[in-house]
A and B are shown apart, each in its own frame.
Chain A
Amino acid sequence: MSNKSYFNPDDLKKFGNITEFQEELGKKFFDYYAAVFEDGALTKREKSLIAIAVAHTVQCPYCIDAYSHDLLQKGVDEESMMEAVHVAAAIKSGATLVNSVQMMNHVKNVSM
């Protein structure tokens, strides 16, 4: 059976191959990426929890797979993972709802 879907989980393993078409920029990206996720003012664990939240907001299935696995390896419990996603969901829904003020403003401006 042919696999004609836009998302193929196996493609995640080929992520490193993006250097094939532009080596210098690809390498710079991966160096930067690795540095971002090192311990700093935030721990690796905290950064991975931010990553899983952002992965949901940008709706990247590769990132969701990668950081779910990474968080399991880091010993993070399911409750913490889901709370991180709720933070992302709250910001997303908040961002939608806060724009409703503009809708209300407009409605009020043109209404008698």
Chain B
Amino acid sequence: MAIKQKGKSLQARDAQLADTFFQLKVLNGKEISDQKYPPFAEQVGSTTDHTVLRPIYPEIFQINIGKLCNQTCAHCHVDAGPDRKEENMDRATLVRCLEILDQTQIKTVDITGGAPEMNAHFRWFVEECSKRDITVMNRCNLTILRANKKYHDLPQFFKEHGVHIISSLPYFSKKRTDSQRGDGVFEDSIAALKALNEVGYGVEGSGLLLDLVYNPAGAFLPGDQADLESEFKRQLAERFDITFNSLFAITNMPISRFLEYLISSGNYEDYMTELVNAYNPSTVDGLMCRNTLSVSWDGYIYDCDFNQMLDLKVSAASQHIDDFDIEALMQRSIVLNQHCYGCTAGAGSSCGGETV
């Protein structure tokens, strides 16, 4: 079934919020809302031992391979969509990423987008990582597997290379899924999950990992990850005979299109207040910005994918993969801003779900 898009990207609409500096002004009470929240960096400084937040040696090399996507989800922090045809990583940049992986001790690559599979070099890059015994995590939106015949063999390709699949599924019902991601997404997602199960993904004993990402379809925080996982497992098994490994509960970050939704629905201040009130200092040690390096389609380096989308480059001389210097990056302080409350609320949030 064809997906009905939720709309166009902020960039295609030339929306004010397409400007990342404008987004930062909103988050800091200088545009749209005059509500001020305690500065995140000061909050961390006063509640933890981290007067400055420093990284540990990177464990995950996260590559945002491009903004092209077959969906235009209402909450997308990347502002991805079918209209983002220009910002996609080329072969030379991917070659440079492989050189860095060869020179460092990083053993995991986390490929995200957009829909990573739409990048023309995606399969080649996965094969190159596979040759190097590097674990590949692929953030798959599921519907891409059903979008076109040329993608139908991807489950088999993933299996051949032992790719760890991390799939977005906001809910086990059509209504809440389609309201966030577009009409038709739920049915295609279920078909894709079945196709992944068929080749062994998410099936006990296969060794092929299929994890799901849950993020709330609205202005509320995710509940307990273990409870949500058990409910998703029960519902998907009963309704569709689908199995998976783990569920990652991820908090929606108040940036990009989700920020637009919060503002237009009148929920921005309540949502920020909820995030700030749920600040949990014990999440700080495990923040993903401490063990991850995030690389954009054009080769710039960021502390995380969210900083990347706000164009907050690493605070180090080594800001581009052409000047990659692991020593300099290890000395950096992580760039913090008000959106970071999204990763420290409750049990914490990261690309791998809860952090405490």
Residues of A within 8 A of B (CB): 13, 43-45, 69, 72-75, 77-78
Contacts and interface: CB of A to CB of B under 8 A. Distances in A.
A69 B214 CA distance: 17
A75 B175 contact: no
Given A45-B231, A75-B214, A75-B232, 12 more contacts: A43-B227, A73-B221, A73-B222, A74-B223, A74-B224, A75-B171, A75-B228, A75-B231, A77-B171, A77-B173, A77-B176, A78-B175
Contact of B227 (A44, A77, A78): A44
8 contacts: A13-B273, A44-B227, A72-B220, A73-B220, A74-B228, A75-B228, A75-B231, A77-B172
B216 A72 contact: yes
A42 B329 CA distance: 50
A78 B174 CA distance: 12
Of all A-B residue pairs in the complex, the 4 with the closest CB atoms, nearest first, are A73-B223, A74-B223, A75-B228, A72-B220
Contacts of B176: 77-78
Interface in B254-298: 273
Contacts of A69: 220
Nearest to B221: A73
Contacts of B82: none
Please tell me the size bucket of the interface on B. Answer: 10 to 19
Interface in B211-251: 214, 216, 218, 220-224, 227-228, 231-232
A74 B227 contact: yes
A73 B223 CA distance: 5
Most chain A Cβ neighbours within 10 Å, of B172, B223, B232? B223
A87 B222 CA distance: 26
A75 B173 contact: no
Contacts of B214: 75
Contacts of B223: 73-75
A75 B273 CA distance: 21
Most chain A Cβ neighbours within 10 Å, of B171, B220, B221? B220
Interface of B: 171-173, 175-176, 214, 216, 218, 220-224, 227-228, 231-232, 273
Contacts of B227: 43-45, 74-75
B175 A72 contact: no
Nearest to A45: B227
A56 to B, nearest CB: 20
Nearest to B170: A75
Contacts of B218: 72
Contacts of A74: 223-224, 227-228, 231
Nearest to A48: B223
A73 B278 CA distance: 13
Contacts of B175: 78
A54 B273 CA distance: 27
A19 B232 CA distance: 39
Contacts of A73: 216, 220-223
Contacts of A45: 227, 231
A73 B251 CA distance: 11
B237 to A, nearest CB: 15
Most chain B Cβ neighbours within 10 Å, of A73, A74, A77? A73
A44 B218 CA distance: 21
A62 to B, nearest CB: 15
Contacts of B224: 44, 74
Nearest to A13: B273
Nearest to B217: A72
Contacts of A43: 227
Nearest to A77: B173
A75 B215 CA distance: 10
A78 B222 CA distance: 16
Nearest to A78: B175
A84 B126 CA distance: 48
A74 B229 CA distance: 10
Contacts of B220: 69, 72-73
A75 B173 CA distance: 11
Contacts of B222: 73, 75
A77 B232 CA distance: 11
